[in-house]
Amino acid sequence: MHITVAGKQVETGEALQTHVRENLGTIARKYFDHALEANVTFRRDGKGHAFVCDINLKAGRDLFMRGEGEGPDAHRAFDEAAEHVAKRLRRYRRRVNDHARSMASERDRPRGEPARQVVLRRPEEEEADAAEVAVANGADHPAVVAESQALIETLTVGEAVMRMDLMQLHVLMFRNSGSSEFNVVYRRGDGHVGWIAPGSA
């Protein structure tokens, strides 16, 4: 597995990089041997008092997951993030392995439909600078903060929920492999998963 270690205004010395590569490599080999690559990024929290570690792991073809940890130093922040990754891999090991094998064997499986993912400015920020928003958008539409390409993949509902959990997303849109219609799964405020599908009650 290829592991990249980077820091945003944080020094990542040889000792830290070795610690990351050895421990993350051990976790990946133990729980999920299909892992391909990982990006580990260190930064300071908003107040500058603690270190934050983000782990983005590509666990298989089109299968990603994320872990985040915080600590008084970079080593402990990584250890917490790595434990989050390990817990998710332990929990989903069987389902993830089955999913990865099925994806590898189904060469004709659709790769997903291109989509556009947009991050909009928060309403309170718009109110603080309404004139700028009006100029940027020509109307009362929220200002676009970021834009990126995405894929809407064909999945079962179970696969969509697994993907949402592994990637630590709040919501995921997908094409239902059973109905061929667009569906949405999302994490509710009470912790349960919501599922939105076309059709009448």
Same domain, 51 and 95: yes
Same domain, 42 and 99: yes
> Residues 175, 113: contact at Cβ < 8 Å?
yes
Residue 100, domain extent: 2-105
Same domain, 127 and 188: no
CATH number for the domain that contains residue 191: 3.30.505.50
pLDDT tens for each residue of 66-85: 899 999 999 999 999 999 98
Mean pLDDT across 160-181: 88
Same domain, 60 and 87: yes
Threshold 0.75, pTM exceeds: no
Same domain, 16 and 93: yes
On whether residue 110 sits in a domain, the answer given is: no
pLDDT tens for each residue of 92-136: 676 655 655 655 555 455 567 888 888 887 766 555 555 554 445
Query: In total, how many domains does the chain have?
Result: 3
